[in-house]
């Protein structure tokens, strides 16, 4: 109402002037009718007066029309244009306050509204950026579902997870496809949560991975069920390590239980004087001795691995003749290989195979572990090759390459990435005898090779054999 009072207040003079012009025009018309009673001179003066009055009224009307245009119409038009710009997102739009009347106060109120709106939008954007930064920095996958089970929000980890599970792609990065719904592995959890309205936790197995899931209901603005948010963490590694730990405890228990039982049984036989002859007593004592050595090797492997991983294992670095080292190892395993019907081949001997800084005892331990594994998994009639040569490294440095290659059972592809992990053992069904290892040998090999600043590589095909390559800087 205030704006209309302002407009009417500014129009009153213009209306009066327009009435004056109309009256002047009517007067002139009446003068023509009654000009017979008025003298010619008086009539001319009256005509001139009305003409002057009409001209002045017209000028004043034009002036006030321009005045109204600049004081009312133009500010209102500017307000309309400014409101349209604000509606389009230009929250920094401001009006110029030209007066302090009601229109000026309206413009000032508009500026204050735009300023507060700009501050509010900026705060909301800041909070959204913070939330987006938190979601993007999370290593866990976050998925937000609406009441219809459609994915409404996800972080990069969640998007990657959905792409793996369902082979889906987003047209725009970070924007979920409206067709994307709850994945099948989460469907049961989602349905249960929607039905009960309570938080649900659990683990799901998808393909070769294990995921820990925490799904929480999300309430809509009206307080009714509005969907759910799921946080998924990849616990495949933890699950695998826990399984390896349990397997290791079972294996070590078995390895220790067997020799302990034999030592106990044979020692009781000696105490009960079951052995009648010196030869029988010597045989019992020899079994007790062998089993005690077996337990000693197990304990030694555990201690060596612990020292290696802690960095406390002392190493005596010196110049090592690789040919002499390989010859010594070959001689040590020749008798055992011949006994099992396996041909142990010593490949070509290159001259000048010297390591400037290496521990010969630790390198012999590495080759011993590798050859022991090769003999255990190679059938009679097959062969094992032991050799070395010089090669150039990736950086142009000189390296000694030591190769242990067998024609044994080979290693499955899925086991290859884990064979150097402590406690890991491949399928026990592939073992040729009852003396199953503890899964520590190759872990010790890897740590010893890395202690020499070298690398170890493995290639294998199931049923065709395995090849280990040790690459050690010549120094």
**Residue 404 · residue 457 · CB < 8 Å:** no
pLDDT at 76: 77
Average pLDDT for 325-331: 89
248: its two tokens: 């290791």
- Please give the CATH topology (third level) of the domain spanning 138-234: Beta-Lactamase (3.30.450)
pLDDT at 403: 92
pLDDT at 196: 83
Ranges of beta strands (E only) in 120-243 are 141-145, 151-154, 200-206, 209-219, 225-234
pLDDT at 456: 92
Average pLDDT for 65-83: 73
Q: What are phi and psi of 44, to 5 degrees?
A: -65, -40
Q: What is the pLDDT of residues 353-406, one digit of tens each?
A: 888 889 888 898 889 889 988 888 888 889 999 988 888 877 777 888 899 999
State the burial class of residue 233 (Cβ atoms within 10 Å of its Cβ: 0-12, 13-18, 19+).
middle
CATH number of the domain at 239-310, please?
1.10.287.130
pLDDT at 173: 47
pLDDT at 433: 44
pLDDT at 94: 84
**Residue 470 · residue 449 · CB < 8 Å:** yes
What residue spans define the domains of the chain?
Answer: 2-102, 138-234, 239-310, 318-473
β-pair partners for 390: 400
144: its two tokens: 């937000």
Separation in Å, CA 149 to CA 19, 156, 190, 249? 72, 19, 8, 44
Half-sphere exposure of 246 (CA within 13 A, CB side): 5
- Residue 169 banded pLDDT, cuts 50, 70, 90: very low
Q: What is the pLDDT of residues 278-301, one digit of tens each?
A: 888 888 888 888 888 878 877 877
CATH number 3.40.718.10 given to 318-473: no
Q: Higher confidence at residue 432 or residue 467?
A: 467
pLDDT at 41: 64
Q: Which of 353, 343, 346, 351 is nearest to 387 (CA)?
A: 346
Q: Higher confidence at residue 15 or residue 337?
A: 337
Cβ partners under 8 Å of residue 285, min gap 6: 266, 270
pLDDT at 405: 92
Q: What is the pLDDT of residues 129-168, one digit of tens each?
A: 888 887 788 888 888 888 888 888 888 888 888 887 766 4
Cβ partners under 8 Å of residue 179, min gap 6: 150
């Amino acid at each position: 109402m205030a704006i209309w009072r302002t407009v009417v207040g500014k129009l009153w003079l213009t209306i009066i002037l327009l009435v004056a012009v109309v009256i002047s025009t009517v007067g002139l018309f009446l003068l023509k009718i009654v000009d017979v009673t008025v003298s010619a001179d008086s009539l001319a003066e009256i005509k001139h007066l009305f003409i002057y009055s009409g001209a002045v009224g017209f000028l004043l009307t034009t002036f006030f029309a321009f005045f109204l245009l600049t004081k009312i119409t133009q500010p209102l038009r500017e307000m309309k244009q400014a409101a349209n710009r604000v509606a389009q997102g230009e929250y920094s739009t401001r009006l110029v306050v030209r007066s302090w009347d009601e229109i000026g106060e309206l413009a000032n109120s508009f500026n204050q509204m735009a300023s507060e709106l700009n501050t509010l939008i900026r705060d909301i954007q800041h909070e959204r950026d913070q939330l987006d930064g938190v979601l993007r920095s999370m290593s866990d996958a976050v998925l937000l579902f609406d009441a219809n089970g459609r994915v409404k929000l996800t972080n990069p980890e969640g998007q990657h997870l959905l792409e793996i599970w369902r082979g889906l792609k987003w047209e725009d990065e970070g924007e979920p496809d409206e067709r994307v719904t709850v994945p099948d592995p989460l469907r049961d959890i989602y349905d249960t949560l929607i039905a009960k309205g309570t938080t649900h936790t659990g683990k799901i197995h998808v393909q070769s991975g294990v995921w820990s899931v925490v799904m929480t209901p999300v309430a809509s603005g009206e307080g009714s069920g509005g969907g759910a948010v799921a946080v998924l963490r990849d616990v495949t590694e933890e699950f695998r390590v826990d399984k390896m730990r349990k397997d290791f405890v079972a294996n070590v228990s078995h390895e220790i239980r067997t020799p302990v039982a034999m030592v106990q049984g044979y020692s009781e036989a000696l105490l009960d004087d079951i052995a009648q002859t010196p030869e029988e007593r010597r045989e019992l004592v020899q079994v007790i001795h062998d089993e005690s050595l077996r337990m000693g090797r197990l304990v030694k492997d555990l201690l060596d691995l612990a020292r290696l991983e802690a960095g406390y294992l002392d190493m005596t670095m010196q110049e090592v003749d690789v040919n002499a080292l390989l010859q010594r190892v070959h001689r040590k395993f020749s008798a055992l290989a011949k006994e099992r019907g396996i041909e142990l081949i010593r490949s070509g001997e290159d001259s000048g195979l010297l390591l400037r800084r290496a521990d010969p005892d630790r390198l012999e331990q590495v080759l011993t572990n590798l050859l022991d594994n090769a003999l255990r998994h190679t059938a009679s009639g097959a062969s094992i090759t032991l050799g070395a040569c010089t090669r150039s490294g990736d950086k142009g440095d000189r390296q000694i390459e030591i190769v242990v290659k067998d024609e044994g059972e080979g290693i499955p592809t899925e086991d290859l990435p884990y064979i150097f992990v402590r406690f890991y053992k491949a399928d026990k069904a592939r073992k040729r005898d009852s003396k199953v290892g503890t899964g520590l040998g190759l872990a010790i090999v890897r740590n010893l090779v890395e202690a020499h600043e070298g690398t170890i590589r493995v290639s294998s095909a199931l049923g065709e054999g395995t090849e280990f390559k040790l690459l050690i800087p010549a120094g």
